[in-house]
A = this chain, B = another copy of it.
Amino acid sequence: MGVKYTEFFKMYSDKFGVPEEEWLKLEEVLTEKSFKKGELLTRPGDNFMQLAVVIKGLFRLFYIGQEGREYVKTFRGEGEIAGPYAEILLDIPSRTFIEAMEDSQVLLLSFEDFVKFGEGHQCWKTIRYEMAEEHFVQKEKREFELLQLSAAERYNNFLVEKSHLVDRIPQYHVASYLGITPVALSRILKKIK
């Protein structure tokens, strides 16, 4: 039993009744990879079809607009999927930069392998829709916040939702995640305190 057996997978095992032998098969196709702080998992154009599960560390997913500005889509910490999920589903090259914000480790699982597993044991299909549904619900929440909340309110939500990550993320990246500039976030903080 190697390092590969993460909490992440045990969680699924309980939840979806993945039998022992399926886990062992899966382990065969997993590979581990390390990233130093600042290194990229993908950049736009990369053909990266892997669901990278974060074992340790923290990643930032962002794109760069025409004017060269960065837009942080989300952060992914331990137990979460750092790969370019939407692009993998759409079977297109990455549109996002995915950067390690700390020294990090991921477990790589090619989506192709994952799909093949789904043709075998049912449990993998279950995991597949659970994963998608969870991602959807998350995005709908974000839509709600972007549509309806002020930047200050979004910041408060962020503090609650990502409390475990707050002190690992510099303020200017938080600002970008909220859809505002670092200057604006600084102003908000001043008012709150």
Contacts and interface: CB of A to CB of B under 8 A. Distances in A.
A137 B71 contact: no
A65 interface: yes
Given A142-B143, A148-B65, A133 B89 contact: yes
A18 B65 CA distance: 42
Contacts of A144: 63, 71, 73
Interface range, A side: 20 to 34
Interface in A123-170: 125-126, 128-129, 132-133, 135-137, 139-140, 142-144, 146-148
Contacts of A183: none
B148 A146 contact: no
Given A125-B126, A128-B129, A129-B129, A146 B89 contact: no
Contacts of A132: 129, 132-133, 135-136
Contacts of A85: 136
Most buried by B among A136, A139, A144: A136
25 contacts: A63-B144, A63-B148, A71-B147, A73-B140, A73-B144, A73-B147, A85-B136, A86-B136, A86-B140, A90-B137, A122-B122, A122-B125, A125-B125, A125-B129, A129-B132, A132-B132, A132-B133, A132-B136, A139-B139, A139-B142, A139-B143, A142-B143, A146-B146, A146-B179, A147-B179
